């Protein structure tokens, strides 16, 4: 029996949504491995017929370092694989080609790669409510092309995937979610769910800016809506970012 293994890094939940739509469209038995909060140790995909899908968001045009670290614990033996990068309507820059390189280096036979749009996690007025119905149709189309490629067995020509080598250099995001002192009831869900351990479990109102990667996981999981971005820098950066990225971008794929 052929099984699709999807390895997903999705702090804000939108990459997981894209992954779920794609996996459902593939209409095959599947198992999702969520790498968001914790790594899952070294995994060997041993069945030669299994299919492997890697899904991650784009941070400043690159694959998040933590996602890279956790993807590198997955080992293949020539199985067919698909790379999916999810970005917030600005650009995916070198992230998709970087994902392809990571996957190929782990021993998989890459057959397809795609870049899909989702609501921006830091500036949610950009690509609001995406992936939407139109995106879903394109994911279904991508899945159809992937199924054809599975049958043909043709590997993906990595030279056609958009992106550059060496990859663009990145710098840390100077914005970090903060806790609303009145709303926060110290339930500690954010601390338990933070992928980098940036939130102090003893005092979840505190965030270690050196560890925080602005992934928005804490905002996504807080039951009190007590965590958010704010301040003058956020307002100014948000105004410019929304202005510069208001046009609608469409998914791209390579098969």
The per-residue pLDDT for 39 is 86
The per-residue pLDDT for 78 is 96
In terms of Cβ atoms closer than 10 Å to its own Cβ (0-12, 13-18, 19+), residue 225 is exposed
CATH homologous superfamily of 4-167: Flavodoxin domain (3.40.50.360)
Q: Could you give the C-alpha distances from 33 to 59, 70, 71, in angstroms and in order?
A: 21, 11, 11
State how far the Cα of 162 lies from the Cα of 59, in Å rounded to an integer. Answer: 16
The per-residue pLDDT for 129 is 98
Strands 252-254, 227-228: pairing kind: unpaired
Q: Are 195 and 12 in contact (CB under 8 A)?
A: no
**Sequence-separated (6 or more) residues with CB below 8 Å from residue 110:** 80, 81, 82, 83, 100, 103, 104, 155, 156, 158
The per-residue pLDDT for 57 is 98
**Sequence-separated (6 or more) residues with CB below 8 Å from residue 235:** none
DSSP 8-state assignment for residue 79: -
The token pair at 149 is 């490629």
Domain boundaries, the chain: 4-167, 178-228
Digit-by-digit pLDDT tens for the chain (255 residues) are 789 999 999 999 999 999 999 999 999 999 999 999 998 889 999 999 999 999 999 999 999 999 999 999 999 999 999 999 999 999 999 999 999 999 999 999 999 999 999 999 999 999 999 999 999 999 999 999 999 999 999 999 999 999 999 999 988 788 999 999 999 999 999 999 999 999 999 999 999 999 999 999 999 999 999 999 999 999 999 999 999 999 999 999 999
The per-residue pLDDT for 40 is 85
Q: Are 206 and 188 in contact (CB under 8 A)?
A: no
Strands 109-117, 178-179: pairing kind: unpaired
Of residues 133, 155, 227, the one with CA closest to residue 189: 227
Q: Are 142 and 253 in contact (CB under 8 A)?
A: yes
What global pTM score does this model have?
A: 0.96
Quick one: CATH architecture of 178-228?
2-Layer Sandwich (3.30)
Place of tokens 């996981």: 217
């Amino acid at each position: 029996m052929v099984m699709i293994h999807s390895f997903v890094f999705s702090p804000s939940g939108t990459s997981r949504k894209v992954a779920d739509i794609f996996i459902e469209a593939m209409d095959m038995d599947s198992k999702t491995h969520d790498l968001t909060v914790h790594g899952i140790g070294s995994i060997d995909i041993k069945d030669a017929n299994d299919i492997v899908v890697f899904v991650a968001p784009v941070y400043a045009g690159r694959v998040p370092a933590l996602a890279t670290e956790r993807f590198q614990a997955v080992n293949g033996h020539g199985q067919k694989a698909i790379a999916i990068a999810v970005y917030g309507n600005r650009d995916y820059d070198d992230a998709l080609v970087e994902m392809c390189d990571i996957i190929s280096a782990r021993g998989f036979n890459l057959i397809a790669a795609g870049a899909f749009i989702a609501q921006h996690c830091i500036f949610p007025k950009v690509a609001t409510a995406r992936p939407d119905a139109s995106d879903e149709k394109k994911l279904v189309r991508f899945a159809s092309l992937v199924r054809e490629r599975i049958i043909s067995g043709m590997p993906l020509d990595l030279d056609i995937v958009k992106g550059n080598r060496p990859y663009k250099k990145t710098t840390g995001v100077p914005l970090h979610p903060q806790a609303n002192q009145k709303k926060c009831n110290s339930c500690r869900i954010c601390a338990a769910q933070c992928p980098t351990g940036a939130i102090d479990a003893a005092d979840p109102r505190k965030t270690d800016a050196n560890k925080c990667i602005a992934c928005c996981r804490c905002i996504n999981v807080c039951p009190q809506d007590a965590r958010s971005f704010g301040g003058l820098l956020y307002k100014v950066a948000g105004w410019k970012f929304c202005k510069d990225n208001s046009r609608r971008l469409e998914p791209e794929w390579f098969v």
